[in-house]
Structure 1
Amino acid sequence: MPLLQSKQLYSSMDLSIRKELPGMLSKMATDHQLDALIMPSFTLVHGYRTKVQAADYVYAMLALLETPMQDKKPSDCFLDAAYCLSRQNKNLLSEGIQSAKKFLSSLFKTVQSILDMKQVNNAGPFLYMFVQEGTVDYKYYSKPHALSLLAMFTLKAYVASSIGSRTRNLSKPLVASAPLDALAETCLMIGIPPVSEVIPRSFFGKAFEQAADKTGSRVRFDYFDSSIVSIHKADRHKFIDALYSLLM
C-alpha cells in the first residue's frame, strides 16, 4: 500500500485500495502467522458515513475512559465514554478512535523498547517488569486496562522471542507495574496468567493479599479485579520477593 494512502483516513483512501485491503491483510496474517489479525464484528451503518465496527466502539470507549490527561476528572471521562455511544456524538466517537490509535501505536513502541532493553526479569516461578517513570508515554499505563494490555502483549512477545527457554516461559505468569501517582509515590501493579492457559485464570488476587500481609507493604485493593492493586513504590521490591517465596 502506498505510504500516502496509509496516512489518510479510511474513508478518504482510494476506493480500489479499500476493496483490496481485506485481502492484503489476510495475506499478511498468513505470512506472519497472525491468526487473530482479522476478527468478526457487528457493523453500524449510519447514512452515508463510514461503517463503524463494534470493536471500534470498544476501543474508543476505553481510550476516552482511560485518558492520560491528568487534569480530567474520572467522572468526566466516564461520561465521555458513555456519550460516545450516541449517534449524535460522532465527533466524540472519532476523538476516542483517534486516541485509541495513538495508544496502540504507543503500546507497540513500548513493548518493543521493553524487549530491546531486556526489562522483563525472570523471578523463577513468574516474570516481572516495571515501566519506569520518565519513559515515553508512561502515563498511559497508570490505568488498569492499559497496563493489562501492555502486560499481555509484552508476555506474548517475550515468549515468542525466547530462544531456548520458550517452553519454560509458556507456563510463567507476568507481574507488571507502572507509576500511578508521583506525589503519593504509588504504583499500579497487575498480575496476568501464562500464555499457555487455554482459559486464562489469574491466581494473583490471593497471592497479592498474602504477600501484602507477609511484608506489611502499603497495598490498596481498590479495583474490582483483585489481581490489580496500587502499591507504594518503596515496597515494590520486597513485595516481589514475597511473591517469589509464595509461588515457589
Structure 2
Amino acid sequence: LCNSNALFHCDQVQYTLVPVIGWQDLGTAFLEHKEQFHYFVLINCGANVDLLETLQPEEDSIFFICDTHRPMDVVNVYNDTQVKRMIKQDDYLGVPSYDDVLRDEDDEEEGGEDSGNESVGGSVCYTSICNSSYTSCNFKLWSMHGQKKLQEFLADMGLTLKQVKQKFNSMDMSIKENLREVIEESSNKYGMKDIRIQTFGVHFGFKNRFLANDVVHAAVALLENTEKVESPGDNFIKALGCLSRSNLERLHGGIDLAKKKLMANQQTVASCICTNLLLSQGPFLYCYLLEVLFLDVPLGSFASLLLMSAYACSKTRNKHCKLLPLVIAAPMDVEKGTVIVLGIPPESETSDKKNFLGCAFEKAAESTSSRTLHNHFDTSIIELKMDRTKFLDALITLLS
C-alpha cells in the first residue's frame, strides 16, 4: 500500500494501479494491459514462481519485482534482462550460482508498547494487555492461572482494575505520565523484556496522533474487511485511502476494526487451546478451526490466520513442539466443502525467509491427486476440497 501510494509520485510518473489477490488475477490483469505498457512493477507478488513461464510475456516486457515472498524462483534470479529484482543489498536469497545449476541440469539432462494498543488516546490498558498476542501468550490468559498472574502483574504496577479499565485519556495525569516506565519495570519482572517495540509516530493537529505500527494494523484490517459485501479491490482502495491525512475518519475506522480483529484472534486461539484442537501429528503441529470458532474471524483472512498460528505456537513450553512447523486449516466455503490450509515454519530468525511448506503441500497434493487450488502468492497457502484426510496423511509421510 505504501509503495503504491508513493513510488512514482516523486517523479510524477503516470501509471495504472491494479490490485490483484492471486495468480489468476495477476494473469488477467497482465493480459488486459500488456498491449499498453512495457514496464510492470509487481509489489508483494511475483518472486516465488517462474514469472516468464507463468505470464508468457513478449521480449520487450520488463518486470520489476518488489516482493518479500521466499524462496525466490531461480529463473527470476538469473534472468536479469526481463526480470529486475528490487531487494536489499544484504538480502540472502539462498540460490546457488548459475554455473552450479547449469552443471546439475547437464548431468541429469519511537518506542511504543506491545502492538495491539491501537489509537493510544482511546485505548484501554486492560483490553490491550488481554488481546495483544505477546502479553496474552506470556500470561497464558486462556487459563485460570494466567488470569491470576495478570492480576498480580497489575498489582505490581500499583494499579487497580478500575484504573486500567479506563481509557488512556481519562486516566489520572500522574498515572499517564509514568505508565510507560511502570509497565516496562513490571514486565521485566515477569520475563516480558520485549514488550516495547521500536516505532515512530505522527501528529495531525492537536488530537490525532498515530504510531506507524497502528496504521499498519488499520490498513490490514481494512484490506481484510468482510463486514460489508465489497470486492477485494474496493477494500484495497479503502486501505489506500486510510494512508492519506485528508481521510482520518477512515483511519480511525480501520483502527477500530483492527481492535475487533485482535479480540477475535485472541478468543479463537484461546478456544483452540482450551478444547485441545492444537495436535501433534509427528513431524508438524496441526489445528483445524471449527466453523463455530471461526465465525468472528473473516473467512479467507490470511493475515489473521498467520497471526493466530504464530500465537498458538508460542504458547507451548514443549521445546520439541517449538521446533515443529504448524499446519492450520479453516473452512473456506462450507457449501463447496473447501478449506484453506496454511503452513507456518518454526519460529526463528530466518523463518520469514525459509518457508518450504509450499513445496511440501504441492508434492502431497500430487501424490494423492487431491483437489487443490494454488492461487495465492504465498505458496504455503492453498485451498483444498474434501480431501483433507488423505492430504494430511501424505504430508505426514513426506515430512517424517
Instruction: Answer yes or no: same fold by TM over 0.5.
Output: yes
Q: Secondary structure at the match of 1:142?
A: coil
Q: Name the CA distance, whole Å, in 1 between partners of 2:183 and 2:217.
A: 20
Q: In the alignment, is residue 106 of structure 1 matched against residue 264 of structure 2?
A: yes
Give the equivalent residue in structure 1 for 2:349: 198
CA deviation profile, 1:221-243 (whole Å, cap 9, x unmatched) = 111110011111x2112111110
Give the equivalent residue in structure 1 for 2:230: 72
Q: Name the CA distance, whole Å, in 1 between partners of 2:165 and 2:223.
A: 26
Aligned runs of 1:1-248 on 2, under 5 Å? 1-69=159-227, 71-135=229-293, 137-140=295-298, 142-157=300-315, 159-160=316-317, 166-195=318-347, 197-200=348-351, 201-232=354-385, 234-248=386-400
Shift of 1:138: 4.5
Q: Secondary structure at the match of 1:33?
A: coil
What letter is aligned with 1:199? T
Q: Name the CA distance, whole Å, in 1 between partners of 2:161 and 2:294.
A: 25
Instruction: Identify if the C-alpha distance between structure 1 residues 181 and 239 changes in structure 2 by more than 3 Å, giving closer, same or farther.
Output: same
Q: Which runs of 5+ in 1 are unaligned?
A: 161-165
User: If you compute each CA radius of gyration, which structure gives the higher value, 1 or 2?
Assistant: 2
Q: Name the CA distance, whole Å, in 1 between partners of 2:291 and 2:228.
A: 15
Q: Name the CA distance, whole Å, in 2 between partners of 1:90 and 1:10.
A: 20
Q: Secondary structure at the match of 1:65?
A: helix
Q: Name the CA distance, whole Å, in 1 between partners of 2:296 and 2:263.
A: 13
Shift of 1:121: 1.1
Shift of 1:108: 1.6
Question: What TM-score do the two structures reach when normalised by structure 1?
Answer: 0.90
CA deviation profile, 1:38-89 (whole Å, cap 9, x unmatched) = 1010111112124210001100001111113262221111111100001111
What letter is aligned with 1:61? A
Question: What TM-score do the two structures reach when normalised by structure 2?
Answer: 0.57
Indicate if the aligned counterparts of 2:264 and 2:297 stay in contact, CA closer than 8 A.
Answer: no
Instruction: Identify if the C-alpha distance between structure 1 residues 137 and 18 changes in structure 2 by more than 3 Å, giving closer, same or farther.
Output: farther
Give the equivalent residue in structure 2 for 1:163: none
Indicate if the aligned counterparts of 1:138 and 1:178 stay in contact, CA closer than 8 A.
Answer: no
Q: Name the CA distance, whole Å, in 1 between partners of 2:252 and 2:342.
A: 30
Deviates more, 1:213-222 or 1:12-21: 12-21
CA deviation profile, 1:66-125 (whole Å, cap 9, x unmatched) = 113262221111111100001111111111111111111221222221111111111111
Q: Name the CA distance, whole Å, in 2 between partners of 1:235 and 1:70.
A: 31
What letter is aligned with 1:214? S
Indicate if the aligned counterparts of 2:261 and 2:297 stay in contact, CA closer than 8 A.
Answer: no
Shift of 1:132: 0.6
State the percentage of identical aligned residues: 34
Q: Secondary structure at the match of 1:229?
A: strand
Output the aligned Cα RMSD.
1.8
Q: Secondary structure at the match of 1:190?
A: strand
